[in-house]
């Protein structure tokens, strides 16, 4: 472990272009439930069954109730050492892109700026009629919030299963993966596309790949370095003592 951390640290120090892909595991130590862990259940519903356009079409009140619960919970959480270490890494690398699947906004709170929130942000809402987007940090939006402009039904401003990513954000994520010299893949189960395939893109471009996770994932075999452990412990070690 020690040797792997040191090799990764060396590779990062020599890399002028770095991309990082994060998932729910990075926010787990802040107390935000992951999607597929034992904590991914809400009222006996699997989070992954509610984050779909079909669930919203069937029962928007239930889906909003779930998102209000998540907003309330996330609103009480703050960034952890993993978020802070990634914000610090951004200051140390000339060309740095943080691609996150997390919608909790905690990377922004920690100070990350070259950030692509590819699955959106839980504090955004979008009108299903006119498409207008709003940013609202109210923990409880009610079970049937409506658009101030056209009274259409609002939906959470996140990307659900079966939906496409914003094409411009995806283009930027692919470009960052293509040009990076090192890609860190942190706290993601690597089962959701297209996020999971960004590691393949980076590998094809010749990047060194490193995974930080509590467990192995379907992408572990692709990795040059696998560090098993908590993101909030390993990432701070990587940025410690650079100067």
Interface ranges with ligand OAD (CB under 6 A) = 23-25, 28-29, 34-37, 48, 51, 101, 119, 158-161, 187-189, 192, 212-215, 217, 230-232
Structure tokens at 146: 């409506």
Concerning whether 119 is annotated as a catalytic residue, the answer is yes
For the bound state, the minimum distance from the C-beta of residue 122 to ligand OAD, rounded and expressed in Å, comes to 10
Between 180 and 185, CB nearer to ligand OAD: 185
For the bound state, the minimum distance from the C-beta of residue 186 to ligand OAD, rounded and expressed in Å, comes to 7
For the bound state, the minimum distance from the C-beta of residue 119 to ligand OAD, rounded and expressed in Å, comes to 5
Catalytic residue among 83, 107, 114, 119: 119
Between 28 and 63, CB nearer to ligand OAD: 28
Structure tokens at 175: 């470009």
Q: Which of 175, 4, 182 is nearest to 93 (CA)?
A: 182
Between 161 and 242, CB nearer to ligand OAD: 161
Whole-number Å distance between alpha carbons of 131 and 116: 21
The per-residue DSSP string of the chain comes to -HHHHHHHHHHHHH-SEEEEEE-THHHHTTT---SSSTT-EETTEEHHHHSSHHHHHH-HHHHHHHHHHHHHHHHT----HHHHHHHHHHHH-SEEEEEE---S-HHHHHT--SEEETTEEEEEEEETTT--EEE---S---SS-B-TTT-PBEEEEEPPTTPPPPHHHHHHHHHHHHH-SEEEEES--S-STTGGGHHHHHHHTT-EEEEEESS--TTGGG-SEEEES-HHHHHHHHHTT--
Alpha carbon 213 to chain centroid, angstroms = 14
Q: Catalytic positions, please?
A: 119
């Amino acid at each position: 472990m020690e040797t792997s951390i040191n090799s990764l640290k060396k590779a990062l120090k020599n890399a002028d272009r770095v991309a990082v892909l994060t998932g729910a595991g990075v926010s787990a130590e802040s107390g935000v439930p992951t999607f597929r862990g034992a904590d991914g259940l809400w009222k006996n519903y699997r989070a992954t069954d509610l984050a779909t356009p079909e669930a919203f079409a069937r029962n928007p009140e239930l889906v909003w109730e779930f998102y209000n619960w998540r907003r309330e919970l996330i609103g009480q959480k703050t960034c952890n050492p993993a978020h802070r270490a990634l914000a610090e890494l951004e200051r140390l690398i000339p060309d740095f892109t943080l691609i996150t699947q997390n919608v909790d906004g905690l990377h922004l709170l920690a100070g990350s700026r070259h950030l692509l929130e590819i699955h959106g942000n839980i504090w955004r809402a979008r009108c299903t009629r006119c498409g207008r987007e709003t940013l609202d940090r109210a923990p409880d939006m009610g079970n049937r919030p409506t658009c101030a402009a056209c009274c259409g039904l609002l939906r959470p401003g996140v990307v659900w299963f079966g939906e496409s990513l914003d094409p411009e954000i995806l283009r930027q994520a692919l470009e960052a993966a293509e040009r990076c010299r090192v890609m860190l893949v942190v706290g993601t189960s690597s089962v959701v596309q297209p996020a999971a395939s960004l590691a393949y893109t980076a590998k094809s471009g010749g990047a060194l790949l490193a995974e930080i996770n509590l467990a192995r994932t379907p992408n572990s075999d692709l990795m040059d370095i696998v560090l098993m452990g908590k993101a909030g412990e390993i990432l701070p070690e990587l940025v410690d003592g650079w100067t």
